[in-house]
Structure 1
Amino acid sequence: MRLRFILALMCCLTGVAHATPVATPPQKAYLSLIIDDLGQNLPQDRRVLALPGPVTAAIMPDTPHATEFAREAHRAGKIVILHMPMAPATGPFAWHPELPIEELEKRLNAAFKVVPYTAGINNHMGSRMTAQPAAMAWLMADLQRRHKFFVDSRTSAQTVAAAQAQKIALASVSRDVFLDDEPTEAAIFTQLQTAISLARKQGSAVMIGHPYPQTLAVLERELPKLKAQGIEWIDIKMMISVRGNQATAAHGKDGIYRTLHGN
């Protein structure tokens, strides 16, 4: 009996000596992808729908295939958002600072009618318009009434759009990385790696790209590799939930978005 006890004790001690410490699980790293400027070229836009994951389709209202492609994207199970033209963009739907709220509302209503199945909106251009606190406050209240979310494309450091959304707790998120300001495959690949690094550093990153052949070529090649790199590709609604309407360090302080006055 005593011998058995000694043998059992030795086994336990051996197990303790060779036990490996429990590893701390790595921080989750999430990526979301929005493709802007859709509705202009159906064969090109359909390549976006074929990307192997939850890409968000941002469709411009003043394009020849806006309504048709919105329906196709919805049928394909993709999240559709309105890519709303804002100054310095031009056209019948574009918002400009000098327009009264009544005209802004009229243009927004018309844009939503052209692009069905929208879950939210993001701004097309908009460096002038997103710096207008009163118009952005009205927009966020209107989106809340419609039960739609807002994505700030952050085309200007002067934007107050996300800050206005945050003030009324509207579901919102801000772009971190533009993939294709320089539309070469090498530059796009570099920007994708920047987004991946940022996701690892801060837990998440929101990417915006365009349906350029070079962008699609890089995405088709690289997106299937994300999982093996420890990156989780999630849709934009999930990203809004992950971030909880909080600003990242690049966009604000202590989770609060900066305004024009740095508050």
Structure 2
Amino acid sequence: MRYLLSLLFCLLAGVAHAAPVGKAYMSIIIDDLGQSSERDSRTLALPGPVTMAIMPDTPHATDFARQAHKAGRTVILHMPMDPATGPYAWHPDIAIEELARRLDAALAKVPYAAGLNNHMGSRMTAQREPMAWLMGELQRRHLFFVDSRTSAATVAAAEAQAVGLAHVSRDVFLDDVRTPEAIAGQLRLGVEQARKQGSAVLIGHPYPQTLDVLAREIPRLRAQGIELVSLRQMIAERGNQAMPGHGHKGRYTHARQLANP
């Protein structure tokens, strides 16, 4: 009897310490940074490897990029694209030479940028030729790309995939509805997505409600089986493959392709 009890204890202990079947990863990006020192500082104080997406046409862009880099955070350029406006914004009727000049100027304003994601861009990211040029240029500069997916018609990630550029696509927007309850609900959706597909990329903004929810909930992610990781680790985890919500069998599709299979 003692032997049987001992054997049962060993079996139960083995089950208790067995490795999980699969890990669930999450990355969080905060857009629109560089506008407010107070909100920038609150974002930088969030726990974990939260990515700082800094707009070039903001008063604190350069200083905050340096501050975030010094703090060990990943900095990316939050590049304005049509329908966004301003001196750096990309529009479909602009020649590649001018797009290149604006990209150079924007990167100069956001030092230490490891990559780029689009600010707005619902029209611009649907333009295949400039998106193909951008992905080749980012490849040349050893920068990665994040498709914010502001439109179902985006071809940006597909063009990144075509040239083998390191990239990921956004899965969940946190704060389209700017209430703590809605933001917490979107974060729960991100957790569910991460568990279902192995990873989730979330994008939010430095709204007080968003920062309050994230400051409270990020330390609780691990207890929910979620590991918060840097964008570089997320890119490595996904291996440039499209998630089910972005395409089919790892390849990207968009609205027109889905309508005409």
Normalising by the residue count of structure 2, what TM-score does the alignment of the two structures yield? 0.93
| 2:195 is aligned with 1:200 | yes
Per-residue displacement from partner, 1:105-143 (whole Å, max 9, x unpaired)? 010000001110000000000000000010100000000
Provide the aligned C-alpha RMSD in A.
1.5
Corresponding residue SS for 1:62:
coil
In the TM superposition, what is the alpha-carbon distance from 1:27 to its structure 2 partner?
Answer: 1.6
What letter corresponds to residue 118 of structure 2 in structure 1? N
In the TM superposition, what is the alpha-carbon distance from 1:13 to its structure 2 partner?
Answer: 6.1
Per-residue displacement from partner, 1:74-96 (whole Å, max 9, x unpaired)? 11110000000000000000000
| 2:46 is aligned with 1:51 | yes
Counterpart of 2:91 in structure 1 is: 96
Q: CA–CA distance in 2 between the matches of 1:229 and 1:131?
A: 36
What letter corresponds to residue 199 of structure 1 in structure 2? A
Q: 2:59 aligns with which of 61, 64, 68?
A: 64
In the TM superposition, what is the alpha-carbon distance from 1:261 to its structure 2 partner?
Answer: 2.3
Counterpart of 2:151 in structure 1 is: 156
Q: 2:257 aligns with which of 243, 257, 261?
A: 261
Match runs of 1:1-263 below 5 Å: 19-20=11-12, 22=15, 23=18, 25-259=20-254, 260-262=256-258
Q: CA–CA distance in 2 between the matches of 1:215 and 1:12?
A: 56
What letter corresponds to residue 39 of structure 1 in structure 2? G
In the TM superposition, what is the alpha-carbon distance from 1:213 to its structure 2 partner?
Answer: 0.4
Per-residue displacement from partner, 1:180-203 (whole Å, max 9, x unpaired)? 000110100000000011101111
Q: CA–CA distance in 1 between the matches of 2:2 and 2:128?
A: 70
Normalising by the residue count of structure 1, what TM-score does the alignment of the two structures yield? 0.93
Per-residue displacement from partner, 1:127-163 (whole Å, max 9, x unpaired)? 0000001010000000000000000000000000000
Corresponding residue SS for 1:90:
coil
Is there any run of 5+ residues in structure 2 with no aligned partner, and where?
Answer: none
What letter corresponds to residue 235 of structure 2 in structure 1? I
Q: Percent identity?
A: 65
Is there any run of 5+ residues in structure 1 with no aligned partner, and where?
Answer: 1-9
In the TM superposition, what is the alpha-carbon distance from 1:24 to its structure 2 partner?
Answer: 6.2
Corresponding residue SS for 2:76:
strand
Q: CA–CA distance in 1 between the matches of 2:217 and 2:52?
A: 19
Q: CA–CA distance in 1 between the matches of 2:61 and 2:19?
A: 47
Aligned length: 254
Q: CA–CA distance in 1 between the matches of 2:36 and 2:5?
A: 68
Per-residue displacement from partner, 1:37-72 (whole Å, max 9, x unpaired)? 000001111111111110100000010111111111
